Amino acid sequence: MAMISPSRSAEPLEIGADPSVRRRQRVGLLGQAGLFLSLVIALIALIVLLLDVGSRIGGMVVYGFRIDPLTVVPSISLEELSQEELLQLAKDNIPPERLAELPEELGANLEDLSVDDLLNVIYAEVPNVDVLTARPLEALSDQELIEILSQNLTAQRYEALNAAQPFEARSREDLIELIEQEVLLESVIKTWPLFPSLFNRAAIEEEIRANYPGAEYGFRWWLTPEFIVGDLTTRPETSGLRPAIIGSVLMIVITILFAVPVGIATGVYLEEFAGKSRFSALVQTNIYNLSGVPSIIYGMLGVAIFVRALSDFTSGAAFGVPDPPPNGRTIISGALTMGLLILPLVIINTQEAIRAVPQGLRDGSLALGATKWQTVWHHILPVAFPSILTGIILGISRALGETAPLIVVGAAAFVTTDPSGLFSTFTVLPMQIYTWAKLPADTFRNISAAAIVVLLVVVLSFNLTAIILRNRLRKSL
């Protein structure tokens, strides 16, 4: 680094006399700007990610029917029409040139045909007889509406709806709404992102009126209370998250019950009991290596050990659980796998926490005649606990967001019932996000984004708690 070159002149050096100094300072400023920029880019990436998710939790939508109304609404029966009406119908709907050819082909004028022959001609010649004779839902009587429901719904669903409120007691609008939702499977056929929908609604409405004449449209939030507590279904318009949320909570509770005691015990052993033995060095190296093993490998361990080898226990068959699942793809297998995954995290944090406890505390306790365990239990763990808790919280948030091992262990992609215990098949929040994000339809991405918001709120608040807790502790030490 030739920073100053005094040999250039014999005069005493003035600060800034070397022309390279100015240049080097400029480079320094540019470099600083560049470094700052890369930090900004990282933060912008975070913001774009959040906006990308946020833009899908609500927006303008156009509704359409999955099932053609013509196939369920009883049409006018042609047989009930009189000869004049049929004649009129034929004349109105058969193209004129065809109408001119017909008498020759039939060997008689339309007017002279019998009702039966006329019907045959109409069925043969009029395109879309269905459309012609269809009636809008609004034109039907209440009785006919109820009839449609009873014919098209499963008996179970029909009874459930009837039990909620008897069909006879429901209003017309309510019945029509029910048919649209349950029978015609009213669904979203096009969606718009949140921000244009909020700020440029008029333009979108115009576009909808141009491209989808007569269709129902409106603003729709995908992240709603009903979404969070609702059942999982195969339709994005009606699906909820409840089984996945319950699955996540149950799994995390078991994970904590397993990983926290084992993790703290290992940390305590390594720091307080093991000394510098060969065994403790082995355990220590092993823990560092485990913390670098990809999570999907833990999944493979889980599927081979918990799901297959121990299937009698993890399916609950060994405990006499009635009607056990055929293999161990259950909550307990997922939770144990997750427990092993976060174990290194808990252990390493426990060790650091214990190492930070002042030596005087141990000496004092031991000098008063306490045993090693009494010292640990009454003096070291209480002091180290807040710091250990930070590690536990980070572990929980890791386990909540981890998906890959559960795919392998076999969280089911589609579960309609809430998990009922340790031995039920299950799904979890991130698994549901993955399943929905894989599907190409926009509406599935909408509910995937809504589920992401739920997951992020939980995970990030856990992480934030841990970070704040840790910073407080650092200050107080």
**DSSP per-residue string spanning 238-291:** T---HHHHHHHHHHHHHHHHHHHHHHHHHHHIIIII-TT-HHHHHHHHHHHHHT
For the bound state, the minimum distance from the C-beta of residue 62 to other proteins, rounded and expressed in Å, comes to 20
Residue 60, helix vs strand vs coil: strand
Q: How are strands ordered across the β-sheet holding 186-191?
A: 186-191, 58-65, 216-221
List binders of other proteins among 318-357 (CB under 8 A): 327, 329, 340, 343-344, 347
Residue (108 or 413) nearer to other proteins, CB: 413
List binders of other proteins among 251-310 (CB under 8 A): 261-263, 265-266, 268-270, 273-274, 279-280, 282-283, 286-290, 292-301, 303-305, 308
Write 469-475 long-range contacts (CB < 8 A, 24+).
469/386, 469/389, 469/390, 469/393, 470/387, 470/390, 473/386, 473/387, 473/390
For the bound state, the minimum distance from the C-beta of residue 398 to other proteins, rounded and expressed in Å, comes to 8
Residue (203 or 304) nearer to other proteins, CB: 304
For the bound state, the minimum distance from the C-beta of residue 290 to other proteins, rounded and expressed in Å, comes to 6
Euclidean distance between CA atoms 302 and 294, whole angstroms: 13
Residue (29 or 108) nearer to other proteins, CB: 29
Euclidean distance between CA atoms 350 and 293, whole angstroms: 20
Stretch binding other proteins (CB under 8 A), from 60-68, 76-84, 118-126, 370-378 = 370-378
Residue (130 or 363) nearer to other proteins, CB: 363
Stretch binding other proteins (CB under 8 A), from 25-33, 152-160, 219-227, 313-321 = 25-33
Give 299's Cβ-side CA count (13 Å radius): 14
Query: Do 387 and 349 touch, CB atoms closer than 8 A?
Result: yes
Residue 384 within binding range of other proteins, rule CB under 8 A: no
Residue 438 within binding range of other proteins, rule CB under 8 A: yes
For the bound state, the minimum distance from the C-beta of residue 148 to other proteins, rounded and expressed in Å, comes to 36
For the bound state, the minimum distance from the C-beta of residue 353 to other proteins, rounded and expressed in Å, comes to 16
Residue (333 or 397) nearer to other proteins, CB: 397
Stretch binding other proteins (CB under 8 A), from 138-146, 171-179, 365-373, 383-391 = 365-373
Give me 264's structure tokens: 């703290």
For the bound state, the minimum distance from the C-beta of residue 357 to other proteins, rounded and expressed in Å, comes to 17
Residue (195 or 288) nearer to other proteins, CB: 288
Euclidean distance between CA atoms 363 and 320, whole angstroms: 51
Euclidean distance between CA atoms 195 and 48, whole angstroms: 13
Residue (218 or 261) nearer to other proteins, CB: 261
Residue (189 or 290) nearer to other proteins, CB: 290
Give me 213's structure tokens: 């004449």
List binders of other proteins among 392-421 (CB under 8 A): 394, 397, 400-404, 407-408, 410, 413
Helix boundaries (H) for 112-216: 115-125, 129-133, 142-152, 155-164, 172-178, 194-199, 201-211
List binders of other proteins among 44-63 (CB under 8 A): 45-46, 48-49, 52-53, 56
Q: With contacts defined by CB under 8 A, how many residues of the chain interact with other proteins?
A: 96
One residue of 70, 111, 460, 472 binding other proteins per CB under 8 A? 460
For the bound state, the minimum distance from the C-beta of residue 447 to other proteins, rounded and expressed in Å, comes to 12
**Partners of 187 in the β-ladder:** 64
Residue (28 or 218) nearer to other proteins, CB: 28
320: left (phi over 0), alpha (psi -120 to 50) or beta: left
User: 16: Cβ–Cβ under 8 A, 6 or more apart, which residues?
Assistant: 22
Q: Which of 196, 194, 177 is nearest to 186 (CA)?
A: 177
Neighbours of 33 (CB within 10 A): 9
Distances 334 to 130, 368, 424 between C-alpha atoms, Å: 53, 46, 11
User: 110: Cβ–Cβ under 8 A, 6 or more apart, which residues?
Assistant: 87, 90, 91, 99, 102, 103, 118, 121
For the bound state, the minimum distance from the C-beta of residue 293 to other proteins, rounded and expressed in Å, comes to 7
Residue 464 within binding range of other proteins, rule CB under 8 A: yes
Give me 107's structure tokens: 């060997």
Residue (73 or 301) nearer to other proteins, CB: 301
In eight-state DSSP terms, residue 189 is E
List binders of other proteins among 190-229 (CB under 8 A): none
For the bound state, the minimum distance from the C-beta of residue 292 to other proteins, rounded and expressed in Å, comes to 4
Stretch binding other proteins (CB under 8 A), from 125-133, 234-242, 315-323, 444-452 = 444-452
